[in-house]
Structure 1
Amino acid sequence: MRLLHACLVLMLAWPLSALAAADILVTAAQGNAGVRDFVTALRAQRPTDHVRFTAVSELPAGHRLKPGTRLILLDLAALDWRLKQAEGPPTLALRVSRVQASRHLGDRRPSYLSLLWSDPPPARQLRLAHYLLPQARRIGVLYTENSRFLLDELRQAAKALRLEIIAQAWPDPRDNRPLQAVLKNSDVLLGLDDPLLYNATTAKHLLLSSYARQVPLIGPNAGFVRAGGLASTLSDQHDWLAVLDRLLDQPPAAWPRTLYPERFRVAGNQQVARALGIEAIDPVAAQQAVAAGEKHR
């Protein structure tokens, strides 16, 4: 009888679990290796859900997507497609920075869209700089018209830490004077994730200039740390999958309009630290100190 009862419970429960399974549609311009890896990892994390990938070019109009679909965008091409759809499912946009979103959306924040930022929070980067370089007081920040909007946020965060933001516009990276001016007047250079300033073309000059002036560079991402920056906070795919797992268990109406991941780690360049006479970076201790500062805000 017990075995029969258990079988009946399983038979009754299976249709209910099948009905509860979510239809998760992932889209991007192309199904490259990074996208395929993401989809595979999401399927492994959500084994009871139906996770599928469709390239943007193959998507139907938004109103033709199945009701109840959860849509995940993995690049700007996918974001632009969704913004053109008057109707469509609740949408989570990943791999988009605040500067990119500002250029593509302006001040718009559609109710169907949740933006999960790919760039490190500027205030978090500032706390990392303060932890690694406690004697530094003047924080240099280069910006363009695209990233100017981040300055007020940085100034507020700096005020809480008794730091000063030395902001310098750099409209033309071919003009060396703004870079030299900010390095001359700063103890640390804090890199905003602005692709007009921090890119493969400017990287060598930026890093050599900061090194020559003995002004460490914090950020704007792990790539610059590997190339010769001092350190940066970063959230990887594993951290974002944890965020998605939590959000996908919630009704879309509860999704935040914008979100930075709580989980992150610190990447440090020990060779650069030694060359600048800075104490060796303990990534775990740095992460814990920065995270503690966020919890106490």
Structure 2
Amino acid sequence: MNPAQSRMTTLRCTRFWRRSLLLVSLIFSMPAWSAEILLTAAEDSAGVQAFAQALAQQRPKDNVVFKPLKDLPAPGRLPAGIRLVLLDPPSLDWRLRDSQGPATLVLRISRLQAHQRLGDRWPDKISLLWSDPPPDRQLRLIANILPQYRRIGVLYGKDSEFLLRELRQYAAPLGLEIVAQYWEDTSDSRALQALFKHSDVLLGLDDPQLYNPKTVKNLLLSSYARQLPLIGPNAGFVRAGSLASTYSDQNDWLKVLDRLLDQPPAHWPRSLYPEHFKVVGNPQVARSLGIEQVDENTVATRLAEGEKRP
């Protein structure tokens, strides 16, 4: 090989290795996996926008987009490869109108809202992430902060009656008894009084027909008069005057979404309560009932440790 040919060979080798190194650097700089994530809701509120922005910041490698429900085509016309995240019950109603469509995660929906729409038949490719506190977690909250109480009074209506069987299953291992009372007419206090006579503490179900701005005054005043603490049904009701509840905030839900979105949709659960949660208590209510104030962090840690046990 003459000197000219040798120089050409060396130059080609150099270029080859430079290109190889450039290609390798590009491969390692690219995200290993990215997803198209579409969030939607019937109302384009500030809270919804904040949630979408927080998810986009948490997953910078993904393309996270929010579009109001009114701007979307039928679910079956969406690209099959996207991950669809629904942020309210009306968007679930839209999704259910089409048997075709991408894999879907449904947030901000309660057990009662889903039962009204689906009964016991859940469509494929739809995962329901419950917004109401898990009943077993609420019962264990009672066992932790009110260990002397055994009779758990539960008001229920025609829409929430299906939850009673599950409550009883969870209560039995804890040594608790569910005392259930049907409340058909919320303007009639006789059902409340009948329940109070046979209960040590009340557990509120996330049933808006029973627990709403119109009933809150009667419920809380009646429970105070009987010196019966009310647990739940949600964090908002604790601010209104119930003793305590478990709840999951936006950061907790972002952790759940982050984990699920890292998985193939085929591995998503049919339904899920968030494993991340907090405890909120009302110190003023505790004082008025002569009950020790709830240590929110300690109780939350204790409950979480109990859920990790096999």
Relative to the length of structure 2, the TM-score reads 0.91
CA distance in 2, matches of 1:30, 1:69: 21
| Match status 1:223 vs 2:240 | no
Who is 2:59 aligned against? 46
Q: CA offset at residue 105 of structure 1?
A: 1.0
Pick aligned residue for 2:305 from 284, 287, 292? 292
- Secondary structure of the 2:27 match is helix
Who is 2:122 aligned against? 109
1:82-93 superposed matches below 5 A? 82-93=95-106
Who is 2:25 aligned against? 10
| Match status 1:248 vs 2:252 | no
Who is 2:271 aligned against? 258
- The amino acid across from 2:173 in the alignment is A
Who is 2:192 aligned against? 179
Q: CA offset at residue 289 of structure 1?
A: 2.0
- The amino acid across from 2:127 in the alignment is S
Q: CA offset at residue 267 of structure 1?
A: 0.1
CA distance in 2, matches of 1:275, 1:12: 64
| Match status 1:131 vs 2:131 | no
Q: CA offset at residue 261 of structure 1?
A: 0.6
Q: Percent identity over the alignment?
A: 61
Who is 1:80 aligned against? 93
- Measured on the aligned residues, the alpha-carbon RMSD in Å equals 1.7
Pick aligned residue for 1:32 from 42, 45, 66? 45
Q: CA offset at residue 6 of structure 1?
A: 5.7
Larger radius of gyration between Structure 1 and Structure 2: 2
| Match status 1:63 vs 2:64 | no
- Secondary structure of the 2:70 match is helix
CA distance in 2, matches of 1:98, 1:136: 26
- Secondary structure of the 2:148 match is coil
- Secondary structure of the 2:154 match is strand
CA distance in 1, matches of 2:173, 2:271: 23
Who is 2:174 aligned against? 161
Q: CA offset at residue 294 of structure 1?
A: 2.2
Who is 2:280 aligned against? 267
Q: CA offset at residue 189 of structure 1?
A: 0.3
- Secondary structure of the 2:31 match is helix
Q: CA offset at residue 9 of structure 1?
A: 2.4
Q: CA offset at residue 7 of structure 1?
A: 4.0
What is the total number of aligned residue pairs between the two structures? 295
CA distance in 2, matches of 1:296, 1:137: 23
CA deviations 1:92-127 (Å, max 9, x no partner) are 000000011100111111111000000000111011
Relative to the length of structure 1, the TM-score reads 0.95
- Secondary structure of the 1:233 match is strand
Q: CA offset at residue 58 of structure 1?
A: 1.2
8 A Cα contact 1:127 1:293, kept in partner: no
CA deviations 1:5-39 (Å, max 9, x no partner) are 7644232345x538x32000001002110110010
CA distance in 2, matches of 1:218, 1:155: 16
Q: CA offset at residue 296 of structure 1?
A: 3.1
- The amino acid across from 2:109 in the alignment is V
Tell me, which stretches of 5 or more residues in structure 2 are unaligned?
Answer: 1-13
CA distance in 1, matches of 2:18, 2:194: 79
